[in-house]
Amino acid sequence: MLAGTAVLLIVIGLFLNPQSSPITLPSLTTKVTPAPENKIVRINDLDITVSLADTPAKRKQGLSGVESLGETEGMLFLFDKENQTSPFWMKDMAFAIDIIWINDGKVAEITENVQPPQAGTRDAELTLYAPNSPYNYVLEVAAGFSKQANITEGDAVVNLGF
């Protein structure tokens, strides 16, 4: 009888104070992935939270498979060497972007409103995008961001010391 009363008091206590209810632990099969390390890039006093594409595998993946970017989010492509000339493409992209080409700490060029390819477009048919001069970094942001944020060629880009 005493044990039954104790159980009843515990159940009543949990009902009256739900914050003390037991914690549900993830199953052993749940894969826990740490949040990606993000950095900040500043253009025109505007902080842009970026994920880094700093390895060949991450650069190849880029934003492929990503559904969208937040208003002040992007992906920053870092390279092992300066003065890059390789073009970019929109393989497996789901949304339009602005491509901000960066050289010597300044916006060198902006390719605006780059659209994702039509479904079924073969790799050989994908449009290639490249600036008119070499670049050191590439920042991809949601389409329209550059215009909305008043980003223009020559603007200083800071916090690239990753």
pLDDT over 80 at 31, yes or no: no
| Res 9: pLDDT | 36
pLDDT in tens, 92-126: 999 999 999 999 999 999 999 999 999 999 999 99
Compute the Cα dihedral for 89, 91, 92, 94 and give only its sign: positive
Cβ density class 51-65: b for 16+ within 10 Å, e for less:
bbbbeeeebeebbee
Q: How many domains does the chain have?
A: 1
pTM of the model: 0.76
Residue 123's domain is classified under what CATH number?
A: 2.60.120.1140
**What domain range is 46 assigned to?**
30-158
Is residue 24 a part of any domain in this protein? no
Q: Measured between alpha carbons, how far is 65 from 19 in angstroms, rounded to an integer? A: 38
Is residue 126 a part of any domain in this protein? yes
Is residue 99 a part of any domain in this protein? yes
Is residue 64 a part of any domain in this protein? yes
Q: Measured between alpha carbons, how far is 143 from 115 in angstroms, rounded to an integer? A: 8
Is residue 81 a part of any domain in this protein? yes
pLDDT over 70 at 136, yes or no: yes
Residue 154 binned pLDDT confidence (cut-offs 50, 70, 90): very high
Which tops the pLDDT comparison, 38 or 128?
A: 128
